[in-house]
Amino acid sequence: MADAGLRRRLEEVVGARIFQEGRLPVGFGLIGLSAQLADGRKVAVKARARGVDADLTLEAYMLEELSRQSALPVPRVLFAAPDLLVMDFIETDGGGITPGVERHAAELIAGLHATPRASFGYERDTLIGPLPQENPLSDRWIPFFRDHRLMAMARKAHAEGSLPAPLLARIDHLAERLEAFLLEPLHPSLLHGDLWTGNVLVRGGRVAGFVDPAIYCGHPEIELAFGTMFGTFGRAFFEHYESVLPLEPGFHEVRCGIYNLYPGLVHVRLFGAGYLDGVDSTLGRLGF
């Protein structure tokens, strides 16, 4: 439960007494709470633990951008400071991602991707989990993905000691040939950026909300690839998505694996060597 100091601060921020509280699952050194307020409201809270330097105003910024620029259901930000984020609580019923949920998610994500954006990247850098994500405004997708996603994450993983030099060399070799594998999209699309099961909230067989974004403008295919990485979305999702926005041939066979090298490297940095096998096998399938 929240310590007395955090509880007092929350009550000051929301302007009401906390009637009941519980834990929410969050990682990366953050404290997650749900709080039922005496005035009937319920809020979700993220707070920085001692010794953690994450800036929660960046998460608030990303949620507010998704709310401002799309129809995605996301929690409304009530208060944001570097060490504290308070949001509306999104009720769930514990339901899993059924084919019906997949179809609803596909409708929402296709709507997000269908709107043309001006440039790849974003007006400011963002985060994926706790890791910085650089977003210089760019005219072409493939160089952006190569330089500011794939190689940026690989070099940081190597510098930190989590990615061995031989794997870095193989990724670098692939990066030199990305133009032979990837496609430029019709236009940049705003992406949620971290589309996996834990960030999709479900209620009544529908998507109740998307949380923990890692936004930028990019190729929709990198978002769709991430949705397959942990089995979040399958056939029902892709059939419905492609009825709205058809995919070019070769996505599932080749490009999906290339794009999942990026979140794979994120997981290498955050969680260690257990994710190296996935990077190694993807590179091997591609002949690198």
DSSP state of 71: -
**Residue 3 a catalytic site member:** no
Closest CA to 114 of 245, 212, 205, 2: 245
End-to-end Cα spacing for the chain: 49
Q: Angle, to 10 degrees, between the axis of helix 220-229 and the axis of helix 99-114?
A: 160
Among the listed residues 139, 194, 212, 280, the single catalytic one is 194
Pairwise CA distance, residues 62 & 68, whole Å: 10
284: left (phi over 0), alpha (psi -120 to 50) or beta: alpha
Pairwise CA distance, residues 268 & 270, whole Å: 6
Active-site annotation, residues: 194
